[in-house]
Amino acid sequence: MGPTTGRALPHPAVGGAFTSPVPPGAGWPGDPADAATPVAHGPRDAERLAGRASLDEVTARSTVCRACPRLVRWREEVAVAKRRAFASEPYWGRPVPGFGAPDPRILVVGLAPAAHGGNRTGRVFTGDRSGDWLFGALYRAGLASQPTATDAADGLRLDGARVVAPVRCAPPANRPTPTERDTCAHWLDRELELVLPSLSAIVALGSFAWSATLAALARRGVTVPRPRPRFGHGAELSLDGPERALLVVGCYHPSQQNTFTGRLTQPMLDAIFERAMTAQA
Ligand code: SF4
């Protein structure tokens, strides 16, 4: 890790004193890494460290990754500067790993952590309005233990589902570069490879997730049609997974831009997960 410059502040749930960004092994709830976790300093490191890693290793190693200089700088600057509403909280300020069941039937693919959501709490879709929408829907579908996700110590568990961001660091303006996407794909590819045998459905939240998912599946040896089918809300693709049929479903991202404007409603989101559930083996 680089220097932690944020002053030590108590975690809103567990207290203690954490600098921002949080050093690995400092006691942050759910921190999968420690001071000995190997750090990727560039794309080749990420490829090597993800290559044959276990799911636990992918989870831990990705949270200390420093392979994308622009994103490392941004996530850590945001962690120190903070948003006024969270000025009294420590910020995770590190990459945000996949979260949920190790053998999911449904994989939810997003875009990247929000600067003041996942980048603050250290858990994907946790601590912002998008997460309220997503975990609310997973709860109503019977895939989450509770409908809310406030912080990494809130007790949320996923049953049969896993959520992952194809880019694990918060990007400026929610826009990773193609190079950053491709570098982070080393983590996504290995995680996908490890969970693919149990999967029946993938829900891709937005066009970035749709494209990243299809590209990752193709790299993992799944036959994906060319030209690649276009993203749309409710778009579907039936593929032959390694163990069983795999349904890929497109869904508008539950960003405030979509939920505030009514482009994505709660019934629309629920219908996507109902459809994904029908694909279960
Ligand atoms: S975006 Fe991914 S590859 Fe890049 S620094 Fe973050 S975790 Fe590493």
Q: Determine the distance separating the centroid of ligand 1 and the alpha carbon of 134, expressed in angstroms.
A: 23
Nearest CA to ligand 1 atom 3: 184
Is residue 2 in a domain? no
pLDDT of residue 241: 83
Q: What is the pLDDT of residue 243?
A: 79
In a domain, 214, yes or no: yes
Q: Which atom of ligand 1 is nearest to the CA of 186?
A: 3
pTM for the whole structure: 0.96
| Dist CA 97 CA 90 (whole Å) | 18
- For 88, other C-beta atoms within 10 Å of its C-beta total 9
Q: Is residue 262 part of a domain?
A: yes
Cα 6 from Cα 192, distance rounded (Å) = 34
CB-defined site of ligand 1, < 6 Å: 46, 62, 65-68, 71-72, 95, 167-169, 180, 183-184, 187
Residue 142 CA to ligand 1 center (angstroms) comes to 31
Residue 112 belongs to what domain range?
9-278
The residue ranges of the chain whose pLDDT is under 70 are: 1-6, 280-281
pLDDT of residue 280: 62
Ligand 1 atom nearest 95 alpha carbon: 7
Atom 4, ligand 1: which residue's CA is nearest?
68
Atom of ligand 1 nearest to the CA of 46: 3
Q: Is residue 204 part of a domain?
A: yes
> At 39, which CATH number?
3.40.470.10
**pLDDT of 3:** 45
What per-residue confidence (pLDDT) applies to 138? Answer: 98
Q: Tell me, yes or no, whether 4 lies in a domain.
A: no
Q: What is the pLDDT of residues 11-57, one digit of tens each?
A: 999 999 999 999 999 999 999 999 999 999 999 999 999 999 999 99
Q: What local confidence, expressed as pLDDT, does residue 24 receive?
A: 98
List phi, psi (to 5°) of 114.
-75, 145
Separation of 169 CA from ligand 1 center, angstroms? 6
DSSP state of 205: E
Please state, in angstroms and rounded to a whole number, the distance separating the CA atoms of residues 165 and 117. Answer: 13
**Separation of alpha carbons 28 and 215, rounded Å:** 33
pLDDT of amino acid 148: 96
- Beta strands 245-251 and 201-205 are parallel
Is 238 inside any structural domain? yes
CA of 168 to the centre of ligand 1 (A): 6
What's the CA-to-centroid distance between 267 and ligand 1, angstroms? 34
**What is the count of structural domains for the chain?**
1
Q: How far is the CA of 243 from the centre of ligand 1 (A)?
A: 30
